[in-house]
A and B are shown apart, each in its own frame.
Chain A
């Protein structure tokens, strides 16, 4: 594939606490060599390649699924000889993607679930009864009213938050 070279994203640099270290990346591949995802689905994910794409053509990267495949295991973050804050850079880049209006399906659905219930997993009455049967406290379909309300308020207060129900 071919790309025009875009100018490096000042956005990313300004926003990130660590992204400027991206410039020190000499592409040694320590990250990819350490990456569990790259190990099993190499054709879909290559952190080194992704970092270089972010560096060379941020805008193009924003719409790429690859961006959402980092499993934040922090192995590359731990080993990078140049101390690139890889995992954090990926998170920040996802922020930019969302700002540009790119909402990946599953994650967005999960976010909505959180806004609804305060959890990433649903608790049906049936499951709650199962808890009871095991002698565990019933927790209801959502977290406490108060907690749920606070989540709502915080997300509504935030000017940058984009996912609405």
Chain B
């Protein structure tokens, strides 16, 4: 059937993917714009671990991969990776977006994703994706389960672009997909409506100096742990201390690192940490049953469906110890690299110390930094934290201050995967409704 309208979705994370699919199913032609080389957003950086566990526990990415595939193959969806919005004009029913697609230097239609190029590439650079894993090549797959499953050349580090005398990847490529001449491409997109799904970024806990992140090797973030427990991580999913690769006998999780804080300026609660910490605490317990696991919290946010039940399981059945108190500081024993946490158990009002092998911080989740710029381009309002504003947060939760532009996922305010997906469907419905109404309005005129 011919398309009933066209929509641009900005951001290819869980929310963006779900919104794109929902819209496609509603007969819309969808442009999915993602600035990274792969769709999937933050979630594909999270662990893929359930497969190695004998316990039924959904790993973060399994539910998303089929969606990514569906997204990629749906005849109504045009996928634009390595692309960001540069211009915007028009009104609901006929917006015009100009976007810039940056070069991948690999032909998306020829590449088979065999990975021979990455194997042959002589360059090794630090991999931002994985503090635990460390290295990547100058031609690489952005994440282990990238989609499209096509590598990308990192121009800064590629020898060819530095001095022109390396063509190893293109020589080895069976389908001649490497194209060093690939360059920026400006594209204009006509859309009836726009859906924003720019997602989130992580607060850098190194700013909370007394916790020693980046100074103490065995202080890591929950994302580091996710990647460590990921089958694709350097440790192949084993939980170890970075300092000596030893199995930790005691692990402590610390909540609200940089969130709920006037000191950091992030007064809000990230809304998901209590839950994923319970999940990862459980994961650690199942991987290392004899390891003691502690969780330091302020308020246990168990508001979601099934959260309290999960918490009870983690606390009572798995024996994870919860302590109400935000640690004051962490000191690393210079010899053993053990970590001594000073904290107050506030429910019995006692200052105590706890020696652990490893500390896992739950950093505040911030709105994506690109929101500010995007808001300027689209002429939208963002609040002081950088979340997109709604004209009425109660009555129109997915609307923005501009008719025809909608939000879903974290860019509207802290929320988890489930709510992001639901809100994505909701945004799709609002798009369909708005387009229907604008058309009938036109007819009336």
Contacts and interface: CB of A to CB of B under 8 A. Distances in A.
A104 interface: no
A80 B208 CA distance: 11
Interface in A20-40: 21, 24, 26-35, 38-39
Interface in A101-141: none
B335 interface: no
B329 A79 contact: yes
B326 A28 contact: yes
B15 to A, nearest CB: 29
Contacts of A32: 328, 344, 346, 349, 351
A31 B260 contact: no
A46 B349 contact: yes
A29 B325 contact: yes
A49 to B, nearest CB: 6
Contact of A81 (B262, B325, B344): B262
B256 interface: yes
Contact of B328 (A31, A42, A49): A31
Contact of B263 (A26, A31, A80): A80
Is the contact region of chain A dominated by helix, strand, or loop, or is it mixed?
Answer: helix
B298 A34 contact: no
B199 interface: no
A82 interface: yes
A39 B299 CA distance: 24
Given A35-B351, A46-B349, A81 B260 contact: yes
A33 B326 contact: yes
A1 to B, nearest CB: 13
Nearest to A80: B263
Nearest to B265: A83
Interface string B346-360: 100111000000000
Contacts of A21: 262
A26 B298 contact: yes
Interface residues of A, number: 25
B290 interface: no
Contact of A33 (B260, B261, B329): B329
B262 A24 contact: yes
A29 B264 contact: no
Nearest to B264: A81
A26 B299 contact: yes
Contacts of A49: 349
Interface residues of B, number: 23
Interface in A58-77: 75-76
Nearest to A24: B262
Contact of B351 (A46, A75, A79, A81): A46
Contacts, number: 74
Contacts of A42: 350-351
Contacts of A38: 344, 351
Contact of B260 (A26, A35, A79, A80): A26
A48 interface: yes
A39 B329 CA distance: 13
Contacts of A83: 262-263
A39 B262 contact: no
A28 B344 CA distance: 8
A46 B344 CA distance: 10
Contacts of B102: none
B387 interface: no
A11 to B, nearest CB: 24
Contacts of A75: 328
A123 B54 CA distance: 77
A34 B328 CA distance: 5
B210 interface: yes
Nearest to B261: A81
A30 B327 contact: yes
B343 interface: yes
B408 to A, nearest CB: 30
A21 B261 CA distance: 12
Contacts of A48: 344, 346, 349
Contact of A79 (B210, B324, B345, B349): B210
B342 interface: yes
Interface string B271-288: 000000000000000000
A55 to B, nearest CB: 15
Contacts of A80: 263
* B260, B261, B328 interface centre (most CB from chain A within 10 Å): B328
Given A28-B346, A42-B350, A33 B325 contact: yes
Given A26-B299, A33-B342, A49-B349, A79 B328 contact: yes
Contacts of B351: 32-33, 35, 38-39, 42, 46
A82 B325 CA distance: 14
* B256, B345, B351 interface centre (most CB from chain A within 10 Å): B351
A33 B328 contact: yes
Contacts of B264: 81
Interface string B328-339: 110000000000
A29 B263 contact: no
Interface of A: 21, 24, 26-35, 38-39, 42, 46, 48-49, 75-76, 79-83
18 contacts: A27-B346, A28-B298, A29-B346, A32-B328, A33-B327, A33-B329, A33-B342, A33-B343, A33-B344, A33-B351, A34-B328, A38-B344, A39-B342, A42-B351, A48-B349, A76-B328, A81-B256, A81-B260
Interface of B: 210, 256, 260-264, 298-299, 324-329, 342-346, 349-351
| In the complex, the 8 A-B pairs of residues with the closest C-beta atoms, listed nearest first | A33-B328, A34-B328, A29-B344, A28-B326, A81-B261, A32-B344, A29-B325, A29-B346
